[in-house]
């Protein structure tokens, strides 16, 4: 791949804005594949319960939130049908999001040795972390299908739109993950920032509650949190109801802007990584 | 470019580091401290206190060409800019100014086994490491059997490498690297890790690459291999090209430079121009009576006392020596670990190695020292830190001395009997 194709090369001082260099990324696509493959293999080799964690995590969250928010907090009254299922559907996608953002954000410093010793487009590292999370999501998703049978929720044709929200979530995760990964290289403080940002973000996203509790006139602004459209759309596609198109569009646009901003910052500092990491 | 047969064209390359900026907290406690201190630093900065960061030019206006098929050795003392040049050539770090044109497929090897993951099996690591070094999946698959048999690890190929011995690990890593087929190979002193057998294989493989007409640029402390392998040598000094020419002449100039000044005559040496980060700073050689001296006899026990500056970057590290003869060939090696089971903690600043009885013949010898965590980046290499003399070698009290002029560097315990 990389050097095999590229015969001539000029090495120059870093400019502030390198551009995305898509051709370069494409040349290294096999390495991306290997990074994803490594992340998945290592994760499942190091854990005893392996794939079960992918279910335990959202399931434990569901149990906890059902008790505290659903029962004691009274949120379950706003939900038609089972609050637990409602929360699990949202959490399955949210867990994927939260895990991939944190692992992408910490991926560069975790690969500092590699960065100090070999060249490859640095973007591959956080991007690989996003793709590696898909396996866990697939497991959690499969369990969701089981729950749908248990709660006798019939699958609707809207489920065909699910990939859209999954991809949308990956765009948000890539945007935030890429941005934070680069920030953490220079400022390790952001390691702590990302942890509580993700925690707070959960409450700013309709995972535990329905979007209806947000007043109508504020909803579009609310959807400037790009995860709003993804979670709301995803859950509607599974549990039924009208898709909130406006919110989805708004979130989609913000997601793309976030990704653009993340890539912009990343590419402007990536050549310095080896010097500061 | 290719029309005039130039593979690497380095034009006015400079590289500036800002010291103080690159020092990042390495553990949790330090990062908390740094975090708490950060606002203060910012504040002081705002009030007009100048930051303590200073610029350091690792490379200054370096220019030279490497022609296709050339094997060029880069030599120079520590801190001369060799590693920085390799990093710039490998695209790991950008130059501050100037540019480099490369014509041909490049592989660069700053260490063997980059990206190896302990949890993965040998088989999986071959693919991962191969991909990291720039091989295609199809290419790795094609070479897989050759790599495994080269490493002589057929039986263990599906064992996680965390269960490998360090020798097996290095063999596997080198086997992958040896199957790269670049037109231009950029290689760091990976040759200095591992045992003699391993080093010889590395050199053998480099010789093959040379004979196949590939362009090789390699950094080495080992002047002998530079003389043997290269058709050209470049000596860096203080970030600039100091000498560029035939390997014999350049290496001789380097030896000359090393010999003149500071190799101590008194059995102790202080570091001249130490690197800014953690480093070894002082060494003393003491005899059995505890006196500091540079004169020993064969059969004597020597105590090497080494002092480092500050706190080491990590725990469980090792101090090492290389023993060199008067032709600057490495003739022996010792380390706190893995040769022995001594691991130093980060706070340790004084290391003592009791060495001997010395089985050396009469002549001049010297030591180089290293501090590092075994198998990882070395923090510091103090090249030819101190010299000493074996004044008398008469281990068996016959009255006849043995010198390293004609009789080699070592005397092995021996007994002579009359056979039947």
ipTM rounded to 2 decimals: 0.87
Q: Could you say which of A4, A8, A116 has the minimum Cβ distance to residue B102?
A: A8
User: Which of B90, B120, B139 is facing A42, going by the closest CB pair?
Assistant: B120
Measured between CA atoms, the residue of chain A closest to residue B134 is: A2
pTM higher than 0.90 for the full model? no
Q: Which domains does chain B have, with CATH numbers?
A: 58-257 (3.40.50.300), 268-392 (2.70.50.60)
The answer to whether B164 contacts chain A (CB < 8 Å) is: no
Q: Is residue A12 part of a domain?
A: no
- Taking the C-alpha atoms of residue A236 and residue A213, their distance in angstroms, rounded to an integer, is 16
- Give me the DSSP letters along B325-359: -TT--EEEEEETTTTSS--B-TT--EEEEEE-S--
Q: Which residues of B touch A188 (CB under 8 A)?
A: 24-25, 31, 34
- Name the residue of chain B whose CA is nearest to A111's CA: B115
Question: How far is Cα B261 from Cα B91, in angstroms, rounded to an integer?
Answer: 36
Identify the CA nearest to A86 among candidates A212, A238, A258. Answer: A238
Give the Cα-Cα-Cα angle A127, A186, B116 (nearest 5 degrees).
50
Residue in A closest to B83 by C-alpha: A117
Is A275 a domain residue?
A: no
Residue B103 contacts A, CB cutoff 8 Å? yes
- Nearest residue in B to A11, CA atom: B100
Instruction: Show the tokens assigned to B406.
Output: 């004609």
Q: Is residue A41 part of a domain?
A: yes
Out of A7, A119, A189, whose CB is closest to B92?
Answer: A119
Distance CA B398, CA B413 (A): 14
Average pLDDT over residues A153-166: 92
- The shortest CB-CB distance from A1 to any of B92, B134, B160 is to B134
**Cis check: omega of the bond before B338, within 30 degrees of 0:** yes
Specify if A276 maps to a domain: no
- Side-chain-side CA neighbours of B100 within 13 Å: the count stands at 29
- The encoded tokens of residue B133 equal 């070094």
A194 has pLDDT over 60: yes
Interface check B104 vs A, CB under 8 A: yes
pLDDT at position A102 over 90: yes
Integer Cα distance of B385 and B274 in angstroms: 11
φ, ψ at B40 (rounded to 5°): -60, -45
How many Cβ atoms are within 10 Å of B182's Cβ, its own excluded? 20
Edge to edge, the sheet with strand B71-75 lists B106-109, B184-187, B215-219, B71-75, B232-237, B240-245
B88 touching A, CB under 8 A? yes
What pLDDT is stored for residue A148 in this prediction?
93
Residue A195 counted as domain residue = yes
Chain A contacts of B182, Cβ < 8 Å?
Answer: 3
Total tally of structural domains belonging to chain A: 1
Quote the CA–CA distance of A143 and A152 in Å, as a whole number: 14
Interface of B with A in 176-195 (CB under 8 A): 182
Is A29 near chain B, with CB under 8 Å? no
pLDDT of B53: 55
The closest alpha carbon to A182, from A108, A80, A93, A83, belongs to: A108
pLDDT at position B304 is 95
Q: Which pLDDT belongs to residue A8?
A: 82
How near does any CA of chain A get to the CA of B127, in Å? Answer: 8
Chain A residues within an 8 Å CB radius of B61: none
Greatest mean pLDDT among A152-156, B55-59, B139-143, B180-184 = B139-143
pLDDT of B167 > 90? The answer is no
Q: Any CB–CB contact under 8 A between A15 and chain B? A: no
The whole-number pLDDT of residue B264 equals: 46
Whether the CB of B393 is below 8 Å from some CB of chain A: the reply is: no
Q: Is residue A2 part of a domain?
A: no
Question: Which among B98, B103, B133 is the nearest to A7, CB-wise?
Answer: B103
**Is residue A58 domain-resident?**
yes
Which DSSP symbol is given to A159?
G
- Does the residue A210 lie in any domain? yes
Looking at residue B45, what is its pLDDT? 52
**What integer is the mean pLDDT of A201-210?**
93
Q: What domain range includes position A194?
A: 26-266
> Which has more pLDDT, B30 or B344?
B344
Cβ atoms of A95 and A57 closer than 8 Å: yes
pLDDT in tens, B33-74: 666 666 655 555 555 444 445 678 899 999 999 999 999 999
Alpha-helical (H) ranges within A151-211 are 162-186, 190-203
Is some CB atom of chain B closer than 8 A to the CB atom of A16?
A: no
Distance CA B166, CA B341 (A): 14
**CB proximity list for B59: less than 8 A, separation 6 or greater:** B13, B14, B15, B81, B84, B85, B88, B95, B239, B240
């Amino acid at each position: 791949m990389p050097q095999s194709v590229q015969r001539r090369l000029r090495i120059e001082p870093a400019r502030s804005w390198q551009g995305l260099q898509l051709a370069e990324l494409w040349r290294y696509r096999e390495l991306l594949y290997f990074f994803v493959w490594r992340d998945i293999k290592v994760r499942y080799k190091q854990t005893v319960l392996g794939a079960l964690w992918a279910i335990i995590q959202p399931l434990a969250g569901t149990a906890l939130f059902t008790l505290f928010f659903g029962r004691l907090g009274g949120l379950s009254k706003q939900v038609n049908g089972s609050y637990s299922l409602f929360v699990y559907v949202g959490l399955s996608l949210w867990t994927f999001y939260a895990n991939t953002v944190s692992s992408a954000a910490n991926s560069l410093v975790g690969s500092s040795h590699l960065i100090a010793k070999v060249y490859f487009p640095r973007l591959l590292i956080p991007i690989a972390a996003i793709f590696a999370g898909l396996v866990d999501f697939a497991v959690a998703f499969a369990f969701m299908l089981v729950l749908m049978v248990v709660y006798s929720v019939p699958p609707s044709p809207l489920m065909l739109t699910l990939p859209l929200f999954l991809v949308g979530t990956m765009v948000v995760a890539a945007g935030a993950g890429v941005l934070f990964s680069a920030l953490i290289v220079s400022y390790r403080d952001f390691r702590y920032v990302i942890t509580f940002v993700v925690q707070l973000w959960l409450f700013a996203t309709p995972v535990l509650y329905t979007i209806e509790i947000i007043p109508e006139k504020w909803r579009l602004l609310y959807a400037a949190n790009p995860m709003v459209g993804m979670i709301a759309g995803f859950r509607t596609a599974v549990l039924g109801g009208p898709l909130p198109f406006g919110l989805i569009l708004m979130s989609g646009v913000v997601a793309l802007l976030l990704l653009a901003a993340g890539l912009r910052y990343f590419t402007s500092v990536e050549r310095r990584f080896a010097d500061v990491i | 470019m290719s029309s005039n047969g130039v593979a690497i064209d380095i034009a006015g390359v400079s590289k500036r580091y800002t010291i103080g900026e690159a020092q990042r907290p390495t553990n949790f406690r330090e990062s908390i401290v740094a975090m708490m201190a950060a606002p203060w630093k910012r504040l002081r900065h705002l009030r007009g206190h100048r930051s303590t960061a200073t610029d350091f030019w690792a490379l200054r206006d370096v220019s030279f060409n490497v022609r296709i098929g050339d094997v060029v050795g880069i030599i120079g003392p520590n801190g001369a800019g060799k590693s920085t040049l390799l990093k710039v050539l490998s695209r790991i770090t950008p130059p501050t100014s100037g540019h480099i044109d490369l014509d041909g497929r490049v592989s660069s090897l700053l260490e063997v086994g980059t990206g190896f993951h302990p949890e993965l099996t040998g088989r999986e690591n071959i693919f991962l490491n191969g991909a990291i070094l720039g091989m295609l999946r199809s290419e790795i698959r094609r070479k897989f059997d050759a790599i495994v048999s080269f490493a002589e690890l057929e039986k263990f190929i599906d064992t996680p490498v965390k269960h490998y011995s360090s020798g097996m690990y290095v063999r596997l890593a080198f086997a992958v690297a040896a199957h790269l087929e670049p037109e231009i190979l950029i290689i760091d002193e990976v040759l200095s890790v591992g045992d003699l057998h391993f080093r010889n294989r590395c050199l053998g493989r480099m010789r093959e690459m040379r004979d196949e007409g590939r362009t090789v640029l390699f950094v080495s402390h080992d002047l002998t291999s530079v003389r043997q392998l290269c058709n050209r040598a470049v000596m860096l000094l203080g970030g600039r090209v100091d000498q560029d020419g035939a390997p014999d002449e350049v290496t001789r100039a380097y030896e000359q430079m090393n010999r003149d000044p500071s190799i101590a005559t008194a059995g102790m040496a202080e570091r001249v121009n130490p690197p800014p980060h953690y480093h070894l700073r002082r060494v003393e050689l003491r005899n059995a009576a505890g006196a500091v001296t540079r004169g020993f006899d064969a059969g004597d026990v020597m105590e090497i006392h080494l002092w480092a500056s500050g706190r080491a970057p990590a725990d469980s590290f090792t101090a090492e020596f290389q023993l060199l003869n008067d032709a600057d060939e490495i003739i022996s090696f010792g380390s706190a670990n893995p040769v022995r089971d001594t691991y130093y903690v980060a706070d340790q600043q004084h290391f003592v190695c009791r060495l001997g009885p010395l089985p050396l013949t009469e002549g001049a010898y010297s030591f180089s020292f290293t501090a590092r965590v075994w198998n990882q980046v070395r923090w510091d290499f103090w090249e030819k830190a101190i010299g000493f003399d074996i004044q008398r070698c008469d281990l068996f009290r016959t009255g006849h001395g043995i010198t390293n002029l004609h009789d080699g560097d070592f005397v092995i315990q021996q007994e002579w009997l009359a056979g039947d």
